[in-house]
Amino acid sequence: MANLPDGRTKLDVSANLTLVKDTHTGVVINVVADGKNITLPAAAAGVMFKIRNGGAAPTGAPVGASGNKSMAVTIVPNGTDTIGGAGRAAANTNLVNTKATANVGDEVELLSVAGAWQIVGKKGIWA
């Protein structure tokens, strides 16, 4: 693990990942590969996760470089759990930061309550 420029601890993720409460709480999940799914565990009161679009490095760019509109991130709820809040109408579907509108640093913060995940903070366009 390393730190983001703002000092928060991040975990770079380049494969599909199912989050685990005791492992991923308090760490920014920094997705650095296109088209990856981040699957939430069953919602249990008080669990919080932060998921960030870290961007994919442009071809020929130096190591560590990343570009806007380079990748999509999909957050998948567990089973019948929902993801709602922040004006989101379709709470029972995946939450997606699409490639067409994605910028490096787009992120969402999710807080769980029994059977549901609530968006409590976001940067960028997540649909």
Q: Residue 29: is its pLDDT beyond 90?
A: yes
User: DSSP letters of 69-101?
Assistant: TS--EEEE--TT-EEEBTTBS-TTS-EEE-TTT
State residue 91's pLDDT score: 63
Domain ranges of the chain: 2-123
pLDDT more than 90, % of the chain: 62
The answer regarding whether domain 2-123 maps to CATH 2.60.120 reads yes
Q: Which residues contact 49 (CB under 8 A, 6 or more apart)?
A: 19, 24, 25, 29, 40, 109, 110
State residue 80's pLDDT score: 84
pTM: 0.89
The pLDDT tens digits for 72-104 are 999 999 988 889 887 776 666 899 999 999 999
